[in-house]
Amino acid sequence: MDTQGWAISVPVGYRVGDWRVTRPIASGSWASVYEGRPVTGDGEPAALKFLPTGTVTRRQLRHLRDMAQREIRLHRALRHPRVVRVMETLVVDDADDPDLDGACVLVMEPARRSLADLLRAGAPVPDAPRLIAEICEGLAHLHAEGWLHGDLKPSNVLLMADGSVRLADFGLATEIDGTHGYLPPAGSVDHVPPERWGEPLTERGYAVRTSADIWALGVTACQLLTGRLPFDAPTARARYVAAAEYVAGERPLALPASLPDAWRAWIADCLAPRPRSRPEAAFQLRRARVLAGTVRVPDGRRGRGVAGLAAAALLTLAAGTGATAVEGGPDPYARWLRTGSDIPRQYRGLIVQAGTMCDEPGLTPALVAAILKTESGFDPDLSDPAKDEYGLARWTPSVMRFYLPAERRGEIPTPPLPPEDSIPAVGRYLCVRLPLLAGVPGDPGLLGAAAFRSSDDVIRGENGVPARFQPYVERVRRHRADYQP
């Protein structure tokens, strides 16, 4: 393979540490990967990732060193079956070759190919649902440990010899500082959410949230399942414009027609226009495992659409945890909702989904259940045309449309409003509105409930719950206490 034009060209036979380069594998913009074998001839091959320093400018050199240090720091901090393993790091000492001298080399476990290679071989990618679930495993672990990937895309996901995947290429990975990490102005345009470029560029870089990884996850999943990007246009620039117009509400999300229906809402949620509305990686993992068939959906518990599948995933994961029996079986939701309460069994999974949709202070499944109890007494057939309110949450259809899944946002639903739509919409509403109430004195959850009955503008204007809504909020407070486990 000709390596002319690669980020760094290393001749076959070149020795670095106890390794000898045997063949080139692939190259990106800032690094090249080669196969290496132990000089002794014993042992398994490895992948040698070279980051060059010999022929770049001082500014590029600093950038490369920062990338290498980030990647090394992440590998030292994290060990996980879905993160590619780095066995050692080396620095080339070769004064006779300025192109190689000082290069950083990561010695990694070898992979069979990247998912980008699979896509070039044809789509949809075989066993794509399982691969997506495994990507979620790695991403959920990164986020739980306080890191975000920053450059998730098929070329940075490796397929190993046993068929499993590993996340790789952490040059843009960053530790989360509070709610954000900071990244340099780099990344694949097709996989970076539009809001990334709207952030001001500071000395630390662009501020990014883990929701940026979730956007990239949705794009990658769409590619693996269909072979196409979710925003269809002939150039990367045109696709970025399409994505930006979608986020701005100027065009609908038009996912490829070949996308399996079971995955459509899953991907649409990853691509939610508002970053705070995108689900966490751990929640998407539970849903993906159901869709991939690695988690069994118990008979008789199937809900409608992905919301029902997500609830079934929660039920399956919770089963066997020693929860108290409900109607002859274990209560899979005892961790979130009190067993034996009057919450109808068929809605408990949807309520847990809504109450765990984001990590905003005050949002809990017990709060969502309390709102539903106060609004309707859990009556899915409630109809109040005089107030234009319907269903368990007394949604006004023209308002509820903004809190439907991303691909349906904007369509005004027609009553009756099914629980599978109206309950998750309560969670989406609170995820959007609770941050707007930060700084208002009072219980965050009860402030959110008051906003649900009135608006966040009213609560902010009064700097708390107005007197006329106090009886409503007191009922929510009592019911929440009844439903807390």
**Residue with more model confidence, 423 or 173:** 423
Dihedral sign of CA atoms 206, 209, 213, 216 in order: negative
pLDDT at 310: 45
Residue range(s) in the chain whose domain bears CATH number 1.10.530.10: 339-483
Alpha-carbon gap, residue 8 to 106, rounded angstroms: 14
pLDDT exceeds cutoff 70 at 459: yes
Q: What is the dihedral of CA 402, 403, 406, 408, to 10 degrees?
A: -70
Q: What is the pLDDT of residues 355-414, one digit of tens each?
A: 988 878 999 999 999 999 999 999 999 999 999 999 999 999 999 988 887 656 667 899
pLDDT band at 296 (very low <50, low <70, confident <90, very high): very low
Positive or negative: CA dihedral 465, 443, 359, 344: negative
CA distances for 236 relative to 90, 147, 203, 272, 422, angstroms: 36, 27, 27, 20, 37
- Per-residue confidence (pLDDT) for residue 328, from 0 to 100: 46
pLDDT of 23 over the 50 cut: yes
Pick the CATH number of 339-483 from 3.40.630.30, 1.10.530.10, 1.10.1740.10, 3.40.630.40: 1.10.530.10
pLDDT number for residue 382: 96
Residue 354 Cα to chain centre, angstroms? 16
Percentage of the chain lying above the pLDDT 70 cut = 85
pLDDT at 322: 33
Looking at residue 409, what is its pLDDT?
63
Return the pLDDT at 276. Answer: 78
Over 80: is that where the pLDDT of 178 sits?
Answer: no
Q: What's residue 392's pLDDT?
A: 95
The predicted structure's pLDDT at residue 71 = 80
Q: What residue spans in the chain does CATH classification 3.30.200.20 cover?
A: 15-108
DSSP-derived 3-state class of residue 35: strand
Res 407: pLDDT: 56
What is the four-CA torsion angle of 214, 216, 219, 220, rounded to 10 degrees? -100
At 410, list the tokens. Answer: 């904007």
Q: What residues contact residue 443 under an 8 Å CB cut-off, 6+ apart?
A: 362, 477
Q: Where in the chain is the domain with CATH 1.10.510.10?
A: 113-288
What pLDDT, in 10s, does the model give residues 228-244? 999 988 898 899 999 99
* CATH class of the domain whose range is 15-108: alpha beta
Average pLDDT, the chain: 84
The confidence score (pLDDT) of residue 63 equals 58
pTM assigned to the model: 0.62
Q: Which of 195, 181, 188 is nearest to 157 (CA)?
A: 188
173 touches 74 (CB < 8 A): yes
Confidence of residue 351 (pLDDT cuts 50, 70, 90): very high
Q: What is the pLDDT of residue 255?
A: 93
Q: Is the pLDDT of residue 194 over 60?
A: yes
Report the DSSP beta bridge partners of residue 395: 390
Confidence (pLDDT) at 379: 96
**pLDDT at residue 61 is higher than 70:** no
pLDDT digits (tens, 9 = 90+) for 409-458: 667 899 989 999 999 999 999 988 898 898 899 999 999 999 999 998 89
- Using only C-alpha atoms, the chain has a radius of gyration, in whole angstroms, of 25
**Matching CATH number, 113-288, of 3.40.50.720, 1.10.510.10, 2.40.50.140, 2.120.10.30:** 1.10.510.10
What confidence tens digit (pLDDT) does each residue in 241-280 have?
999 999 999 989 999 999 988 899 899 999 999 887 888 8
What is the percent of the chain with per-residue pLDDT over 90, rounded to a whole number? Answer: 51
pLDDT value of position 337: 94
SS (HEC) of 422-463: HHHHHHHHHHHHHHHHCCCCCCHHHHHHHHHHCCHHHHHHHC
Most confident of the ranges 179-183, 322-326, 451-455? 451-455
- Residue 359 has, within 13 A of its CA and on its CB side, a CA count of 8
